[in-house]
Amino acid sequence: MRTSPLRDATIQEAIQQRRSFRAFLDRPVDEPTLRKVMDIARFSPSSTNMQPWQVFVLQGEKKQQLDRLLLQAFDEGRGAEPQLSAYLKDWFEPFRSRRFACGTALYKALGIDRKDKPARVAQSRNNFNAFGAPVVLLFAMNRGLNEGSVFDCGMFYQSVMLAAMGEGLETCPEASLIAWPKLLQDFLEVDDSWRFLSGMALGYADYEDLVNQYKTGRAEVDDFCRF
């Protein structure tokens, strides 16, 4: 378990030690630091150098306003309508087992029983205020672009997470933050030419919180790679 920010790491260490954090300190992130993260990530590769990504950076009162809107939508039980989703209607192997193991490990770290529905709902609710992180990043691309640009945006997304680690910050990728794209369009005052791909919580992690003691495993190389 890491107890301090990871700085001056090798590329290998950064990739292997990056993980999702779900509890953050009440400590703001200054704009020069955020700009530095983006200044590093902008060198990510993309097809024909299109650089299709767009990032909306929210902090302070603006972030708190978004928290309130998303939490209200969750509490009202609004059905999610993301423009991009990784979740399946009918889960199949090996993805079903991996998803189950991920959730089981999280609730075990928190001491939440599988049958304790109120506690599970309360934990799920935390997704919609970005787990208390001081910064929310919303990633989008122009709707007119082809699906291949999602791949480019994914590379940029990873670069943001690794660059953030270099500045002593932690992150959590969050599909929950883009559950209601129309809400985001209205809030950000943008038109529907933007397609929201994912959100991200960013801040200084609370390394002592129970939820941050949890880490998922990974498949072995021979499980996904054919030589």
SS (H, E, C) 48-65: HHCCCEEEEEEEHHHHHH
Q: Which domains does the chain have, with CATH numbers?
A: 11-75+91-171+195-216 (3.40.109.10)
Q: Residue 10: its pLDDT value, please? A: 83
Reported confidence tier of residue 2, pLDDT bands at 50, 70, 90: low
- Over the stretch 100-156, which tens digit does the pLDDT of each residue have? 999 999 998 899 998 999 999 999 999 999 999 999 999 999 999 999 999 999 999
What is the distance of C-alpha 56 from the center of its chain? Answer: 13
Q: Residue 201: its pLDDT value, please? A: 98
Cβ–Cβ < 8 Å for 172, 131: yes
Q: Residue 114: its pLDDT value, please? A: 84
pLDDT reading at 6 higher than 70: no
Record the pTM: 0.93
Q: How far is the CA of 98 from the CAs of 10, 89, 157, in angstroms?
A: 28, 15, 22
104: enclosing H helix or E strand? helix 95-110
E-strand ranges in the chain read 53-59, 135-142, 170-174, 194-203
pLDDT reading at 3 higher than 90: no
Pairing of strands 53-59, 135-142: antiparallel
Quote the tokens at residue 52: 């299709």
Share of the chain above pLDDT 70, in %: 96
